[in-house]
Structure 1
């Protein structure tokens, strides 16, 4: 095996991370707004929207992702195994994202068919793009310390994309659509498609695959699957991945309803005035208009403005948390840091259950603290997946990076499908009425439970599973040392 544990350049780390920024402009939009877009913009019944999200998500998890994983591990080009997939899918990804958030006037049945078709194609291309991209992180370097650093760069980029989507997308939609949300979503996705394509190309041209399996390490599909089945750390990380993304999709999709229907609009307006938000927007617009530019169109209603500010605060603190991740993981190991930070972050999710509609300050403080501690965990999950690939090579003397990452992306898609479908499913169960100015107490209670108790349960189960995960700091060191010795040893043909 050709290998190196050399230090990655800042340019390569930034170039690699831009690929995740590009993908997450679309991914975060799907997680945060797909249910809302289907029910309140495209006007698909909530139960039908839940079915589309769930079924297509499972199709991506159990069909598209494994197939791409098998194909990517067997790809042979002068550019490597995984980089070509990023090149090939860069333009189709953007085009399908635009189509998925378009709103043709087709009647109810036609809308359902259109939504299901475009979402299916988008999930397919997402798998063909994001799985090889994720697997690429496992072959850029053999150094676990460098992987921790690479993950930190990568997930700062992810948080930037998340900030754009969760804090700025609704204002951007109003600006680009001149007040029309339908047109605004289409124009926003067009912008993301162009930017994403450029960033994917930068990723392709600035990275290099260094860990290349030798012919003796190649195995058939059945052998790869057998290696997975016998890999206990892989099984545990797979379960953790599913649970984490159930929570992320559920809370991400439900917060918009929490602000719109549970929290007091009067108190939200007072909060925005008290923290200087309204005066800041007014000051910004004064500067823009005095310079002859168009004023920044922020949503007028307090729930939408507060929701965007809420997301922005959480994301900024996640980025701060990411900054602590590498140093903590280098010292204590990924497993222990991930579990401890995830548990603390979950406590602040649970706190949402006890807050009254008037407890706006407490809601925001909990979001900030949750964001900080969850931010510490963000780079570690994907670095742990790369470690699982190393563990498999160390134990079996065979490396199948893409199929391991494909299994984890299966878990991601299962989690997102379940979590996103739960958003629409919970709303349907509690008899949510799309577009209504107010909801019944039953619906409001369901929303409140969803953002607290329902969201916290998968996180707590994930923490419990970590007690069975054996790759602690001493084992990380041993695996890296012994694999490094093997890779430096001369091959049979040397």
Structure 2
């Protein structure tokens, strides 16, 4: 009766080690999303328009490199496996570039622009090389749909540790390291070291499962970029997931980029930054162990839709109360942290379903390509969020480290709370067209199991 017992599963010890990838991945992601714009404008002295241009240029590069990395991972053959060698050798490079990203050398204004462009684009490429193979390992570790959700819950749970290290500990540690440029550089070095070690532990956990599988004919799969890309374009559930997930990320990236500005210039309470971050973090932690239970009860599609819809409510409250009391603000932040964690985690849990759909519909999985697509849209949403924040702040006349006019204050409030609402509305529309329901997935798995059984005869 319980067919799921036939599916290959990963050992818990390996799942735990693999989950450290969630720590390494989110350390850099949250650090860049939360503080890079602020670091460049208020610490390094870069104009907001330069920062917005940098975000756009790097994403154009990612549009080519992310799918390419996904396909390279799918077709890699080595003694370390398909995906692990990229993680093992790419992690220290990524760690070093995180340090450089938050280092502010004494340069001329023009050379500062050259520096941030070179370092940020190099960081983005290194992130691609490491993160896409890391996410590609999820469906490789386990064929069981329920365990895949558990695996995603574990690695997202590790992501909350990253959130603690970044959103709560960043400013105190920067000050403890001496503050200013020195403090940020030392903090960047610490995050870079933690990122490297975390990814190495992750690669260790994936070792028993990352095998170089040959085709049925006994040869290696040929590397046909156009054929692989067509597989993605024809995969409607994957495209809808990319849009829904990307607009969720855009929502979070926009508010994260202006979060420091909101507390510094609107509320004039920078001391509340770690307090609000704690409210969001610990409320989000509570929702993580509920994810597998809620998924079984409601299904991934319906749960994603409900989570995105409810995330709008606390944002709307704080949008219309520009300077709320501390109690109202922290309550809204906690509610948002609890609810918004659900769709942000579910995207990665739904990714293996889209790979299964590709195998069911077109006879090819392409785990790396699917993972690269979601990783790209993740970075794209983060960059567009950062671009929107920098561009519109510059548009209304923001100048760092001075009293801001009313137009700037209103724009900060809108970007912090209003823009994320628009992102979640876009997610709701997209997810309405995601066609893999619980019933549909049962049909897909049954057909795939029958095909596998016929091939073994």
TM range, normalised to the smaller chain? over 0.9
Answer yes or no: is 1:353 the counterpart of 2:357.
no
Correspondence for 1:406: 372
1:160 CA displacement: 1.3
Q: Name which of 434, 450, 457 aligns with 1:485.
A: 450
- 3-state SS in 2 of match to 1:344: helix
- Work out the CA distance in 2 between the residues paired with 1:328 and 1:455: 24
Q: Name which of 234, 247, 251 aligns with 2:251.
A: 247
Correspondence for 1:429: 395
- Work out the CA distance in 2 between the residues paired with 1:37 and 1:164: 17
* 1:371-410 alignment, distance < 5 Å: 371-410=337-376
CA contact (8 A) 2:9 2:143 kept: no
Correspondence for 2:196: 197
CA contact (8 A) 2:287 2:339 kept: yes
1:466 CA displacement: 1.2
1:487 CA displacement: 3.0
Greater CA drift, 106-115 or 470-479: 470-479
- Pairs aligned (count): 448
- 3-state SS in 1 of match to 2:289: helix
Greater CA drift, 367-376 or 204-213: 204-213
Structure 1 pair 211–201 and aligned structure 2 pair: CA distance change class (3 A): closer
Q: Name which of 22, 25, 36 aligns with 1:23.
A: 25
Correspondence for 2:3: none
* 1:124-143 alignment, distance < 5 Å: 124-143=125-144
1:214 CA displacement: 4.2
1:213 CA displacement: 5.1
- 3-state SS in 1 of match to 2:169: helix
* 1:68-87 alignment, distance < 5 Å: 68-87=69-88
* 1:8-407 alignment, distance < 5 Å: 8-60=10-62, 62-177=63-178, 180-207=179-206, 208-209=208-209, 214-216=214-216, 218=221, 220-263=224-267, 265=268, 303-407=269-373
- 3-state SS in 1 of match to 2:162: helix
Structure 1 pair 146–347 and aligned structure 2 pair: CA distance change class (3 A): same
- Work out the CA distance in 2 between the residues paired with 1:55 and 1:331: 42
CA contact (8 A) 2:322 2:413 kept: no
Structure 1 pair 25–237 and aligned structure 2 pair: CA distance change class (3 A): same
> What's the Cα RMSD here?
1.8
Bigger Rg, structure 1 or 2:
1
- Work out the CA distance in 2 between the residues paired with 1:200 and 1:225: 28
Greater CA drift, 62-71 or 40-49: 62-71
Answer yes or no: is 1:461 the counterpart of 2:395.
no
Structure 1 pair 11–320 and aligned structure 2 pair: CA distance change class (3 A): same
- 3-state SS in 2 of match to 1:215: coil
- 3-state SS in 2 of match to 1:323: coil
1:181 CA displacement: 2.0
- 3-state SS in 2 of match to 1:468: coil
- Work out the CA distance in 2 between the residues paired with 1:195 and 1:485: 44
- Work out the CA distance in 1 between the residues paired with 2:192 and 2:229: 35
- Work out the CA distance in 2 between the residues paired with 1:457 and 1:76: 43
1:209 CA displacement: 2.5
Q: Which runs of 5+ in 2 are unaligned?
A: 1-5
- Work out the CA distance in 2 between the residues paired with 1:42 and 1:50: 15
- Work out the CA distance in 2 between the residues paired with 1:489 and 1:154: 34
CA contact (8 A) 1:135 1:402 kept: yes
CA contact (8 A) 1:250 1:450 kept: yes
Answer yes or no: is 1:6 the counterpart of 2:5.
no
- Work out the CA distance in 1 between the residues paired with 2:52 and 2:389: 8
- 3-state SS in 1 of match to 2:80: coil
- Work out the CA distance in 1 between the residues paired with 2:345 and 2:154: 9
- Work out the CA distance in 2 between the residues paired with 1:210 and 1:112: 41
